[in-house]
């Protein structure tokens, strides 16, 4: 995770900064074609920055109170998914079903419903509020777990900061304002 934070996440930040700087010049020079060309770079690196920022705040040490917090959101999850176990197994299935690189999410929709979503590469959640995001790129688990994705999922569930999830759910922490 140290490498993940200081190398991988940092690269997205550096590339996003470079791209937004370049965009300013292109706007100034009224080069619309080049601005459009730059959109995918901004989406990838901006998404990478947003997703990882959400991810780090989503984690807590296993024995930390925050890892067993979030009583209200857990009750809501039980209500909407029938049980917490059902929620976890649905999220696990979604994560293990990702082909290539991507993310698994718990999202609060505008009508209050909770949904499990996956996004490809570094696409961020832009519709609804992402409450919980799990990085499912190989770089997130390979050093520690090799190809054993299931163990990565099992262990990441032990270090979820449920207080953060709850704050995003009840609006006391803005999910996308970093
Ligand atoms: Mn990552």
Strand order in 129-135's β-sheet? 114-120, 102-108, 129-135
The tens digit of pLDDT for each residue in 53-91 reads 999 999 999 999 999 999 999 999 999 999 999 999 999
What is the distance in A from the centroid of ligand 1 to the CA of 9?
Answer: 7
3-state secondary structure of 153: helix
Residue 89: the pLDDT is: 97
Protein residues near ligand 1, an ion, with CB under 5 A: 8, 135, 137
CA gap 142, 138 in Å, rounded: 5
What is the distance in A from the centroid of ligand 1 to the CA of 8?
Answer: 6
Handedness of CA 146, 95, 170, 75 (dihedral sign): negative
Distance between start and end Cα atoms, the chain: 20
Contact 73/162 with Cβ under 8 angstroms?
A: yes
Contact 46/52 with Cβ under 8 angstroms?
A: no
Average pLDDT of every residue of the chain:
95
What is the distance in A from the centroid of ligand 1 to the CA of 144?
Answer: 14
User: In sequence order, what are the beta bridge partners of 86?
Assistant: none
Nearest alpha-carbon partner for 96 in 147, 143, 49: 147
What is the distance in A from the centroid of ligand 1 to the CA of 66?
Answer: 22
Contact 38/19 with Cβ under 8 angstroms?
A: yes
Average pLDDT by consecutive 10-residue portion of the chain (178 residues)?
Answer: 88 96 97 96 96 95 94 98 98 97 97 98 95 96 94 97 96 74
Its pTM stands at 0.93
Contact 136/116 with Cβ under 8 angstroms?
A: no
Residue 54: the pLDDT is: 95
Contact 43/14 with Cβ under 8 angstroms?
A: no
Q: Which residue has the tokens 């890892």?
A: 67
Residue 177: the pLDDT is: 64
- Residue 50 CA to its chain's centroid (Å): 7
What is the distance in A from the centroid of ligand 1 to the CA of 121?
Answer: 10
Residue 169: the pLDDT is: 96
């Amino acid at each position: 995770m140290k490498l993940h934070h200081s190398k991988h996440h940092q690269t997205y930040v550096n590339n996003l900064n470079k791209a937004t700087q370049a965009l300013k010049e292109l706007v100034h020079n009224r080069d619309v074609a080049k601005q459009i060309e730059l959109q995918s770079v901004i989406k990838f690196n901006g998404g990478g920055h947003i997703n990882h920022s959400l991810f780090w705040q989503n984690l807590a040490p296993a024995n930390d109170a925050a890892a067993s917090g979030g009583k209200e959101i857990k009750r809501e999850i039980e209500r909407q998914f029938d049980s917490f176990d059902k929620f976890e197994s649905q999220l696990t299935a979604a994560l293990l079903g990702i082909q290539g690189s991507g993310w698994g999410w718990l999202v609060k929709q505008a009508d209050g419903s909770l949904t499990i979503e996956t996004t490809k590469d570094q696409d961020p959640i832009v519709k609804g509020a992402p409450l919980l995001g799990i990085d499912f790129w190989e770089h997130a688990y390979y050093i520690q777990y090799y190809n054993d994705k299931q163990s990565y999922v099992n262990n990441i569930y032990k270090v979820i900061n449920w207080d953060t999830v709850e704050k995003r759910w009840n609006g006391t922490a803005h999910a996308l304002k970093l």
